[in-house]
Structure 1
Amino acid sequence: MSGNNLNTAATVMCPHGGQASAQPAQSRVVAVGSPAATVADLYTVTGCPFTVGTKPQPCVTVRWTGPSARIRVNGSPALLQNSRALCHSAEQAPQGPPSVTVVQQRVVGA
């Protein structure tokens, strides 16, 4: 699996349109001016409108499950544009995969 490496400036959205933002676990390694993204980063989702019946169940976090098998950043596996992930509600219910729509184009990994 190869693809463009994610950095914290990448646009990541939950399946319902909420915006995910990264809080980087490291700031030493950068990719095109922003910290390189790893599985250790905390991704929080804001603005998700998802409800089940009348109960709001918005996505609040993104949990990455398929990072790069070869690239590590300060010991943590790097994230690629096509890395697998799931968004989760506050009750930890899986809500579906996020979409990565805008990513830097210079650094490619496997």
Structure 2
Amino acid sequence: MSGNLLHVNATVVCPHGGQATLLPARTRVRVSGQPVATLADTYTIAGCSFTVSGKPQPCVTIKWVTPSSRITLDGQPALLQGSVGLCQSAEQVPQGPPNVVVVQQRAVGR
């Protein structure tokens, strides 16, 4: 798997349109002036309107399961545009994969 590195200002959304925000654990490594995302970072989601049988079940976080296999930053695998993740509800119920919509175009990894 290869793809552009994710960073703080990359646009990532849940399958239901909720906006994901990266809370970086480290900010030393940057691309386009923005901290690069790693497996250790936290992605929170706001604005998801998903419901199940009338009960609100919004996506609130992303659990990444397939980060970069070759790039590590401070010992943590980097996240790429093609990385696989699962959006989860507050009850940790998988809600579907996140969509990476916009990412920087200069740094590519595997």
Which band: TM-score by shorter chain? over 0.9
Equivalent residue of 2:60, what SS? strand
Quick one: distance in 1 between partners of 2:31 and 2:24? 13
1:75 aligned residue: 75
Work out the CA distance in 1 between the residues paired with 2:57 and 2:5.
Answer: 30
- Paired residues, number: 110
Give 5+ residue unaligned stretches, structure 2.
none
Distance in 2 between the 1:74 and 1:29 partners? 9
- Corresponding residue for residue 6 of structure 1: 6
Alignment partners' CA distance in 2, 1:98 and 1:90: 16
Q: CA deviation at 1:8?
A: 1.2
Question: Which residue is 1:20 aligned to?
Answer: 20
In 1, Cα distance between the equivalents of 2:68 and 2:40? 13
Alpha-carbon distance between aligned partners in 2 of 1:87 and 1:2, rounded to the nearest angstrom:
21
For residue 9 of structure 1, report the CA deviation from its aligned partner. 0.8
Q: CA deviation at 1:14?
A: 0.2
- Per-residue Cα deviation, 1:12-71 (whole angstroms, up to 9, x for no partner): 000000000000010100011100100111000000000001100000000100000000
Q: How many percent identity over aligned positions? A: 64
Partner of 2:63: 63
Q: TM-score, normalised by structure 2?
A: 0.99
Per the alignment, residue 86 of structure 1 pairs with 86
What TM-score results when the alignment is normalised by the length of structure 1?
0.99
- Which segments of 5 or more consecutive residues in structure 1 lack a partner in the other structure? none
Rounded to whole Å, the distance in 2 between the matches of 1:20 and 1:104 is: 16
RMSD, aligned α-carbons? 0.4
Specify the code of the residue in structure 1 equivalent to 2:8. Answer: T
